[in-house]
């Protein structure tokens, strides 16, 4: 009888282990990385990074100041400080702090045009506005610097040739091999993709623009995961930060083997993206921060590294790109 009871309790114990294990394997309440839920949702609503850079209507995230300065078809949000705005601004512009762009956007009765000093913070804001549902929001290219000679100082004072003769600047055409990493994790009170996205955008806006100085990256490139957002030709012709990757295009869900995905980004490093002007990299940086990456936009891009380079053909400040002489209030 004693052996029978011992056998009975052994069966119960084994059964408990088996059923508990099965339950753990299929438990629908098991924790899911919210970044994964968010990425799945972005794919579902067709808002991978390429459709933030250019929306479904083919409209880019940035627009140049129009000849004649007619932007009457836009709801202009000027996020410069009040002193700069009060000195001069585009007629009809609404001056608000960057942190208040969603509140102001809710009052917009036209497609939004965000304006700042150089276009960089405005592009950062535009990325977040598009993710929030304002898919036709745009930034003014070059910011107020491109609008008028009288407001061009922000770009004029920024251009440089930091890469000239620097030991960490390379013209090597070979690109480093990409690794594959886990996606980042972040905390959220939401569980559904739509709510996670809303909460993340609001949080990233509350943190303000995230940029990094070109000199810091050039002096210590190993401290960052550096993405050179150039095409293949410019990567070698213009030169690049030594060891920089070239993730272009960069997508949540790559469609082919020659496209880079966010899983190729090391989530344990500060992720720095640079482009030609710091404007495209600002869009990418805001998007990556929403996904949970510790991302930064390299300020002024190639125009800070090598503004005098003869390899330029487009987007060179005071080269092919100069301020206009448009009206100001």
Q: How much is the pLDDT for 30? A: 56
Q: Which pTM was predicted?
A: 0.91
Q: How much is the pLDDT for 289? A: 98
Q: How much is the pLDDT for 3? A: 42
Q: How much is the pLDDT for 320? A: 96
Task: Identify the structural domains of the chain with CATH numbers, from first to last.
Answer: 35-156 (3.40.250.10), 170-305 (3.40.250.10)
Chain segment 29-88, per-residue pLDDT in tens: 458 999 999 999 999 999 999 999 999 999 999 999 999 999 999 999 999 999 999 999
CA angle 198/290/268 to nearest 5° reads 150
Determine the average pLDDT of the residues in 224-253. 96
Share of the chain above pLDDT 90, in %: 88
């Amino acid at each position: 009888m004693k052996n029978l009871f011992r056998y009975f309790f052994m069966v119960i114990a084994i059964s408990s282990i088996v059923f508990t294990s099965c339950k753990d394997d299929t438990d629908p309440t098991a924790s899911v990385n919210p970044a994964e839920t968010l990425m799945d949702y972005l794919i579902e609503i067709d808002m991978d990074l390429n459709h933030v850079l250019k929306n479904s209507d083919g409209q880019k995230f940035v627009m140049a100041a129009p000849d004649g300065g007619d932007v009457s078809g836009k709801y202009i949000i000027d996020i410069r400080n009040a002193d700069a705005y009060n000195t001069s601004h585009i007629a009809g512009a609404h001056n608000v702090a960057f942190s208040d762009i969603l509140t102001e956007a809710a009052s917009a009765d036209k497609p939004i045009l965000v304006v700042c000093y150089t276009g960089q913070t405005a592009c950062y804001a535009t990325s977040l506005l598009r993710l929030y549902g304002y898919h036709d929001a745009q930034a003014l290219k070059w910011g107020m610097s491109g609008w008028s000679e009288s407001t061009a100082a922000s770009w004029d004072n920024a251009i440089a040739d930091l890469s000239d003769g620097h030991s960490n600047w390379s013209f090597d055409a070979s690109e480093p091999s990409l690794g594959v990493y886990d996606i980042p994790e972040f905390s959220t009170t939401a569980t559904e993709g739509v709510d996670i996205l809303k909460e993340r955008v609001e949080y990233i806006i509350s943190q303000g623009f995230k940029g990094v100085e070109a000199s810091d990256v050039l002096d210590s490139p190993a401290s960052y995961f550096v993405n050179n957002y150039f095409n293949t030709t410019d990567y070698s012709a213009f030169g690049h930060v030594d060891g920089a990757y070239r993730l272009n295009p960069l997508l949540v869900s790559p469609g082919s083997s020659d496209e880079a995905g966010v899983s190729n980004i090391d989530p344990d490093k500060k992720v720095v993206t640079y482009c030609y002007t710091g404007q495209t990299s600002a869009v990418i940086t805001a998007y990556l921060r929403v996904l949970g990456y510790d991302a930064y936009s390299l300020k002024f891009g190639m125009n800070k590294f090598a503004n005098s380079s003869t390899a330029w053909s487009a987007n060179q400040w005071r080269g092919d790109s100069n301020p206009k002489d448009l009206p100001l209030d």
